Chain A
Amino acid sequence: MKYINSYSGINCQNPLPNQNDWLNTLDVNSNELVLPNFKEHIEGIQLRRLSKILKMSLACAQFCNNEMAKSEMAGIIIGTGQGCLDDTRKFMVDMTSYESPSPTPFIHSTHNTIAGQLGLHMKCHGYNITHANEGACLENALLDAYLQPDQGWYLVGAVDEKIDWLQLLIEQSSKLKDLVIGEGATFFAVSNTPSSIQLEDVGAYFISKNRLAETVDDFLRQNKLDLKDVDLVLHNGNGVSGAQDQMNYQDFCGAYFTNSGFGIEVGIQKLKSGLSRVLVVNTIRENQIGLTLLKHA
Chain B
Amino acid sequence: MEIFVTGTGVVSAIGLNTNENLTGLLAEKTGIRVTNYRGEPSRFLGTVSSTNQELKQELELDFDTSRTALLGLKAAKEAWGDTTSDANLRTGVISGNSVGGMDFTEQFIMDLIAQSSDASIEALFSHPCGFSSQLIAKELDDVSFCNTISTACSSGANSILQAVQLMKAGKLDRVIAGGTDALSMFTIKGFSSLMIFDAEQCRPFDANRSGLNLGEGAGYLLLETAESASRSGNKILAKISGCGIANDSYHQTSLSPDGKGAVMSMNAALENAGLNPGDIDYVNTHGTSTENNDEVELTALRTVFNDNVPSFASTKSFTGHTLGASGAIEAVYAILAIQNDQAFPSLNITDHLDDSYKAITTKEDHKGGRPIKHVLSNSFGFGGNQTTLIISEA
Contacts and interface: CB of A to CB of B under 8 A. Distances in A.
Nearest to B250: A120
A113 B247 CA distance: 12
Interface residues of A, number: 54
Nearest to B128: A134
B147 A109 contact: no
Contacts of A83: 129, 150
A111 B252 contact: no
B385 A128 contact: yes
A116 interface: yes
Nearest to B166: A147
Nearest to B387: A129
A112 B130 contact: no
B152 A133 contact: no
A115 B190 contact: no
B109 interface: yes
Interface stretch (B51-59, B137-145, B215-223, B282-290): B137-145
A128 B134 CA distance: 23
B367 to A, nearest CB: 32
Contacts of B252: 107-108, 113, 116-117, 120
Contact of B193 (A102, A124, A129, A204): A102
Interface string A94-135: 010000111100111111110111011001111111111111
A18 interface: no
Given A120-B249, A134-B134, A129 B129 contact: no
Interface in B214-258: 245-253
Nearest to A128: B247
A288 B135 CA distance: 13
A82 B383 CA distance: 17
Contact of B246 (A103, A116, A125, A135): A125
B186 A113 contact: no
Contacts of A127: 245-247
A9 interface: no
A134 B146 CA distance: 10
B129 to A, nearest CB: 4
A204 B93 CA distance: 12
A136 to B, nearest CB: 8
Contacts of A163: none
Contacts of A288: 134, 146
B185 A204 contact: no
A91 B99 CA distance: 13
Contacts of B124: 169
A133 B158 contact: no
Contacts of B247: 76, 115-116, 119, 124-128
B260 interface: yes
A241 B147 CA distance: 27
A110 B98 contact: yes
Interface in B195-212: none
Contacts of A106: 186, 189-190, 193-194
A102 B146 CA distance: 35
Interface string B298-311: 00000000000000
Given A113-B383, A169-B121, A119 B249 contact: yes
Most B C-beta atoms less than 10 A away, residue of A109, A110, A125, A206: A110
B133 interface: yes
A133 B146 contact: yes
A107 B194 contact: yes
A95 B149 CA distance: 26
A269 interface: no
B148 A112 contact: no
Most B C-beta atoms less than 10 A away, residue of A88, A100, A106, A143: A106
Most A C-beta atoms less than 10 A away, residue of B98, B128, B246, B251: B128
A207 interface: yes
A130 B109 contact: no
A143 B163 CA distance: 12
Contacts of B122: 173
Most A C-beta atoms less than 10 A away, residue of B93, B129, B169: B129
B264 interface: yes
Contacts of A95: 185-186, 189-190, 193
B180 interface: no
29 contacts: A76-B247, A83-B150, A92-B186, A95-B186, A95-B193, A101-B193, A107-B382, A109-B186, A112-B383, A116-B382, A119-B247, A125-B246, A127-B245, A127-B247, A128-B151, A128-B383, A129-B151, A129-B158, A129-B162, A130-B150, A130-B151, A133-B129, A133-B148, A134-B129, A135-B130, A143-B166, A147-B166, A147-B171, A206-B92
Task: Give the 10 A-B CB pairs with smallest separation, nearest first.
Answer: A116-B383, A106-B190, A134-B130, A206-B146, A111-B150, A128-B247, A133-B148, A132-B150, A103-B193, A133-B130
Interface of B: 92-93, 98-99, 106, 109, 121-122, 124-125, 128-131, 133-134, 137-138, 143-152, 158, 162, 165-166, 169, 171, 185-186, 189-190, 193-194, 245-253, 260-261, 264, 381-385
